[in-house]
A and B are shown apart, each in its own frame.
Chain A
């Protein structure tokens, strides 16, 4: 695929490589989950990964910040190779933010404490500064007034926006989204997607596993389709949706866009 300097949405993509995955393989026991994955992500790219369940899309992005170990091949994030060296893993994790399907906020801490925890302990930032940063990002996701509440008091959409703010407080250079809207009620999906769109417009490098095809059309500059642990097809959104090449892609798109 030819890499465009600007995509239809007018957001810039640089030539600098943010993530480079080469010939990566992963097994769960005997089960071959990821096969020969090759993927290069440039800084500023917004990639949507889709595919049927069990196709390995979540596993792929979880390998990028070492929540899952890969057994073969190489992953380089921001120039740091992902190996079993704990220092490299910690470095990569503090550069890469992640949002989960089930938010995974810390229920025993307030929203503000959720957001300041990692900056305080990992980045060793003074408390006042960490709280200012947290409030800045909470305002950005439009829930500063909830700062002193506990996660259990918030709606799902609000919790997911807090989760995004919590990741942003670490000032990550790359954001990973693992089905961020799959556990939400329909009316809450929009508020989370709006936050993600805003983030994309600011030039964040993003990898999103999602079934929100409208989001893919609007912000992605590349859509990747995975099936059975392989990258089957990847293209810019327009040609991907209008003119899929692979039979499995066609079947998948007809199923999810057909209703």
Chain B
């Protein structure tokens, strides 16, 4: 055998041929591109069209950013520096940054106070958002609103202190009297809180300068700070109110049910902007003359009522999605209404409602810019008013509005990402 081979075959391979890689056109990026971008004439055309659109966008935006200037103190300076390179005049952001953040009337030497309040947010909010953190830290969260009020508005610390004391005493009275029944608990809460606030009012009046920070009036609040204040306060208030309204709408007691239905349907049927006008102008007619009812407080009430009606409907959807068996199982174990809601129904209904609630929260946060229409100088109000109408920066639209978009986008995208994370955390049903 081997002899014949040796004569007839010139070469015999002694080693195995290594496995050949698949053709380049069938693997990796090239395969993906072929299959997804150039799989047919139509897709090829769409791909080329898409590439052109991307090119067109980038060719506008990139020179605008790269050739833009951060130097200069007016649009005229900018024009000199930029020439005709098509760059943006970002100098306005540096020049007016504090105004964008705090408004134009907040005393500049006090900027540290809202900044500190903002930083404290990162110490007091995570324990609400992340269940794994120690529950005791929630005490900080409970103290935060009062501390933040003191820092931002200033004045004697006795004002927020007694507000807190009233709530704590009210809660203590509530837990005592709730053993009789819920209504008695509520009444005890109101009585204890009002008495504490009333006495606190006297003490505050007696010592108006006790641990006082320089007071800043609500009219002087502005910029992105105002949007954040309105957004955070209104979201935190409208969630519990929305839960109460949603449960009230399901109540078997006709009075409670119809009060909730009428409230929800009325508020949802009215544009937010009309409610804000009511807060700004009309409310003053109904209040006794001389009462000084803070404008920001009025706006907070209106936005909260508005958002709570929407949240109530979102949560009602979550409640309706729960099988009737969950209510029956809770009942059959002897849990009372409050326990069944708190332990069984709401945890599940709220979980189902997370996307809807986040939708409302993000919408609410962006709607806080509507206060610019009732002449409050939030971020949008600042840009539309004082900044764009100043002779220095007239016509610098793109840079300012882009900055506003970025600020809002960062917050809203953060909320959205958090909610998706939370949904994954709460995924226990393994469907």
What is A's interface to B at a CB cutoff of 8 Å? 65-67, 86, 90, 93-94, 96-98, 100, 102, 104-108, 117-118, 121-122, 150-153, 166-167, 170
Contact = CB atoms under 8 A, between A and B. Distances in A.
Contacts of B429: 107-108, 150-152
Contact of A102 (B323, B333, B336): B323
A108 B351 contact: yes
B47 to A, nearest CB: 43
A102 B430 contact: no
B326 interface: yes
B331 A121 contact: no
Interface of B: 323, 325-326, 328-329, 331-336, 339, 343-344, 347-348, 351, 426, 428-431
B332 A98 contact: yes
Given A94-B334, A107-B348, A150 B325 contact: no
A166 B426 contact: no
B21 to A, nearest CB: 44
Nearest to A152: B430
Given A67-B328, A100-B329, A104-B326, A152 B428 contact: yes
Contacts, number: 70
Contacts of A117: 333, 335, 343-344
Contacts of A170: 333-334
A152 B431 contact: yes
A112 to B, nearest CB: 13
Contacts of B344: 106, 117
Contact of B329 (A96, A104, A108, A152): A104
17 contacts: A67-B328, A90-B334, A96-B332, A100-B325, A102-B325, A104-B329, A106-B326, A117-B344, A118-B333, A118-B334, A121-B335, A121-B339, A122-B335, A151-B429, A152-B428, A153-B430, A167-B333
A67 B332 CA distance: 7
B430 A150 contact: yes
B29 to A, nearest CB: 40
B328 A108 contact: no
Nearest to A118: B333
B336 A166 contact: no
Contacts of A121: 335, 339, 343
B351 A122 contact: no
The dominant DSSP class at the B interface is: helix
A139 B323 CA distance: 29
A65 B426 contact: no
Given A100-B325, A104-B329, 20 more contacts: A67-B331, A86-B336, A93-B333, A93-B334, A94-B334, A100-B329, A102-B325, A104-B325, A105-B329, A106-B326, A106-B329, A107-B429, A108-B426, A117-B333, A117-B343, A122-B335, A122-B339, A150-B428, A150-B429, A152-B429
Contact of B328 (A86, A104, A107, A153): A104
Contacts of B335: 117-118, 121-122
B333 A122 contact: yes
Nearest to A151: B429
B332 A90 contact: no
Contacts of B351: 108
Nearest to A105: B329
A70 B408 CA distance: 57
A66 B331 CA distance: 9
Contacts of A151: 429
A151 B430 CA distance: 9
A60 B109 CA distance: 75
A163 B343 CA distance: 17
Given A102-B323, A102-B325, A117-B343, A107 B333 contact: no
A106 B343 CA distance: 10
Contacts of A152: 428-431
A100 B335 CA distance: 17
Name the residue among B326, B339, B428 with the largest chain A CB count within 10 angstroms: B428
Contacts of B329: 100, 104-106
Contacts of B426: 108
B332 A108 contact: no
A100 B331 contact: no
Nearest to B426: A108
Name the residue among A67, A97, A107, A153 with the largest chain B CB count within 10 angstroms: A107
Nearest to B324: A104
B313 to A, nearest CB: 22
A119 to B, nearest CB: 9
Contacts of A66: 331
Contacts of A153: 430
Contacts of A150: 428-430
A96 B344 CA distance: 19
A91 to B, nearest CB: 8
A63 to B, nearest CB: 12
B334 A122 contact: yes
A158 to B, nearest CB: 13
A92 B209 CA distance: 60
A107 B8 CA distance: 78
Contacts of A65: 331-332
A151 B325 CA distance: 14
Contacts of B343: 117, 121
A166 B348 contact: no
Contacts of A98: 332
Contacts of A167: 332-333
A56 B339 CA distance: 30
A166 B428 contact: no
B184 to A, nearest CB: 15
A96 B334 CA distance: 9
Nearest to B332: A98
